[in-house]
């Protein structure tokens, strides 16, 4: 397994449970899988795609989405706009709902400590937007009074999705590693430089040298293109960075995790520590982890406007981290054999939904390796395949 982010870990989990030996090689890059909002929300999977207005705003640097000009982000954005609501919609939804079932199984089987909260609210400044959203999401429309009882003010309406959840992604990542170690999965901290398919798969590692395997799975997130290019395949994955701000607060600020849909900002409060986790932005600007103070203030301003956060929380006290989402222009993952290979499988491109889609992705990777019938429909498997 190349990559120890959430996609690599869930793939390792379903493969090792089918009786294969698994080795995870990870280069130690900053993982999107630790620095994200922590929402498991299949209902929300297909509600945000790029419209022309979004694309124009992104080019002008207005709002939460930005792209660099010139740069790969520009052609990515053009493709994203062109493919709005075409490819992958039902496949992503299938992956999401299957993953929700698998999370339930996982939580009862492995007893993971992840600080999970059930029930997630999508928040809207205008009631008509909430009503429009409710047509594509399995949830209940709730009014501003009910939202205030959950700690959110200034929203006209929300959609409460009872069965979906939020958790602490760092705890999920840590506890998945512990569970995998218990299953006998081995981990190496090293960077894979090159992969070749011969009778077996040969992986050249920066420190360890060459190792061989029966199969190789590339779950290397936004860096996957570096490894697939020499194999003649480009998954068209770009890093879309997002900011995670952690604020230590006293007491309960919010009753349920919320997605402020008008700003693309997510908020949850971890039960065990009380820390508020706030995330936002979708920026195709390469791998920089630097954020201007004005950008961070923009995020905090939105949160302060709608939540009762103490004024005394100072910029200097905030913990800021960056995650790089691996995004294809259609925001649909690529899962399957790399064209022209028999033993090299790619699993990446999960963009804004890697946590939400990880278990079913891992299960599909295990099905492919084992040669067993996938739990997903054939249409979905085809839509996710690299040769689509």
Ligand X SMILES: Cc1cc2nc3c(=O)[nH]c(=O)nc-3n(C[C@H](O)[C@H](O)[C@H](O)COP(=O)(O)OP(=O)(O)OC[C@H]3O[C@@H](n4cnc5c(N)ncnc54)[C@H](O)[C@@H]3O)c2cc1C
Chain residues in the site for ligand X (CB under 6 A) = 2-8, 25-29, 31-33, 35-39, 191-192, 219-223, 227, 242, 244, 266, 279, 323, 325-326, 348, 350-356
Smallest separation (angstroms) from ligand X to the CB of 321: 9
Smallest separation (angstroms) from ligand X to the CB of 39: 3
Smallest separation (angstroms) from ligand X to the CB of 269: 14
- Indicate the residue among 25 and 55 with the shorter CB distance to ligand X: 25
Q: Where are the beta strands (DSSP E) in the chain?
A: 23-26, 39-40, 65-67, 117-124, 140-143, 157-166, 186-189, 192-197, 201-205, 209-213, 216-218, 238-247, 258-260, 265-269, 276-284, 319-327, 334-337, 344-348
Smallest separation (angstroms) from ligand X to the CB of 274: 19
Cβ atoms of 103 and 118 within 8 Å: the answer is no
Q: Please list, in sequence order, all residues whose beta carbon lies within 8 angstroms of the beta carbon of residue 113, skipping any fewer than 6 positions away.
A: 171, 175
Give exposure, 8-26, as e/b (b: 16+ Cβ within 10 Å). bbbbbbbbbeeeeebebbb
CA distance 119 to 139: 10
- Indicate the residue among 117 and 348 with the shorter CB distance to ligand X: 348
Burial (CB < 10 A; 0-12, 13-18, 19+), residue 214, is exposed
- Indicate the residue among 206 and 372 with the shorter CB distance to ligand X: 206
**Which 3 state secondary structure label does DSSP give 28?**
coil
Smallest separation (angstroms) from ligand X to the CB of 242: 3
- Indicate the residue among 66 and 350 with the shorter CB distance to ligand X: 350
Q: How far is CA 77 from the centre of its chain?
A: 19
Smallest separation (angstroms) from ligand X to the CB of 145: 27
Smallest separation (angstroms) from ligand X to the CB of 356: 3
- Indicate the residue among 142 and 166 with the shorter CB distance to ligand X: 166
**Which 3 state secondary structure label does DSSP give 288?**
coil
Cβ atoms of 147 and 121 within 8 Å: the answer is yes
89-110 and 354-370 helices cross at what angle (nearest 10)? 90
CA distance 31 to 239: 11
Smallest separation (angstroms) from ligand X to the CB of 217: 11
169, 171, 177, 178: CA torsion to nearest 10 = -160
Q: At 271, list the tokens.
A: 């039960």
As beta bridge partners, residue 160 has 121, 140
- Indicate the residue among 215 and 223 with the shorter CB distance to ligand X: 223
Neighbours of 375 (CB within 10 A): 15
- Indicate the residue among 54 and 222 with the shorter CB distance to ligand X: 222
- Indicate the residue among 7 and 15 with the shorter CB distance to ligand X: 7
- Indicate the residue among 156 and 262 with the shorter CB distance to ligand X: 262
Smallest separation (angstroms) from ligand X to the CB of 223: 4
- Indicate the residue among 133 and 378 with the shorter CB distance to ligand X: 133
Smallest separation (angstroms) from ligand X to the CB of 361: 9
Find, among 318, 354, 365, the residue nearest to 173 by Cα: 354
């Amino acid at each position: 397994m190349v990559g120890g982010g959430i996609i690599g870990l869930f793939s390792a989990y379903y493969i090792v449970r089918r009786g294969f030996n698994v080795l995870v090689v990870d280069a130690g890059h900053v993982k999107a899988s630790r620095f994200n909002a922590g929402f498991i929300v299949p209902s929300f999977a297909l509600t945000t795609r790029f419209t022309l207005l979004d694309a124009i705003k992104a080019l002008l640097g207005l709002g939460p989405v930005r792209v660099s000009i010139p740069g790969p982000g520009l052609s990515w954005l053009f493709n994203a706009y062109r493919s709005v609501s075409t490819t992958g919609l039902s496949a992503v939804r299938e992956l999401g709902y299957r993953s929700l079932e698998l999370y339930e199984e996982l939580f009862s089987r492995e007893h993971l400590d992840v600080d999970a909260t059930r029930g997630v609210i999508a928040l809207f400044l205008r009631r008509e937007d909430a009503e429009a959203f409710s047509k594509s999401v399995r949830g209940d429309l709730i009014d501003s009074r009910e939202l205030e009882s959950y700690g959110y003010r200034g929203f006209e309406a929300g959609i409460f999705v009872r069965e979906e959840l939020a958790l602490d992604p760092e705890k999920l990542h840590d506890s998945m590693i512990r569970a995998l170690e218990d299953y006998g999965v081995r981990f190496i901290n090293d960077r894979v430089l090159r992969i070749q398919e011969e009778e077996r798969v040969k992986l050249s590692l920066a420190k360890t040298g060459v190792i061989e395997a029966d199969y190789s799975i590339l779950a290397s997130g936004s860096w996957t293109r570096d490894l697939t290019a020499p194999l003649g395949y480009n998954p068209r994955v770009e890093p879309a960075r997002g900011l995670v701000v952690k604020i230590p607060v006293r007491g309960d600020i919010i009753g349920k995790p919320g997605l402020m849909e008008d700003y693309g900002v997510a908020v949850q409060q971890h039960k065990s520590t009380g820390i508020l986790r706030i995330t936002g932005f979708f920026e195709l600007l390469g791998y920089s982890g630097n954020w201007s103070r004005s950008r961070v203030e923009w995020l905090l301003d939105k949160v302060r406007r709608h939540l009762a956060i103490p004024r005394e929380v100072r910029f200097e006290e905030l913990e800021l981290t960056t995650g790089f989402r691996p995004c294809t222009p259609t925001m649909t993952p690529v899962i399957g054999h790399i064209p022209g290979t028999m033993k090299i499988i790619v699993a990446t491109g999960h963009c804004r939904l890697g946590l939400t889609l990880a278990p079913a992705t891992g299960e599909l990777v295990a099905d492919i390796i084992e040669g067993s019938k996938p739990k997903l429909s054939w249409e979905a498997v085809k839509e996710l395949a690299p040769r689509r």
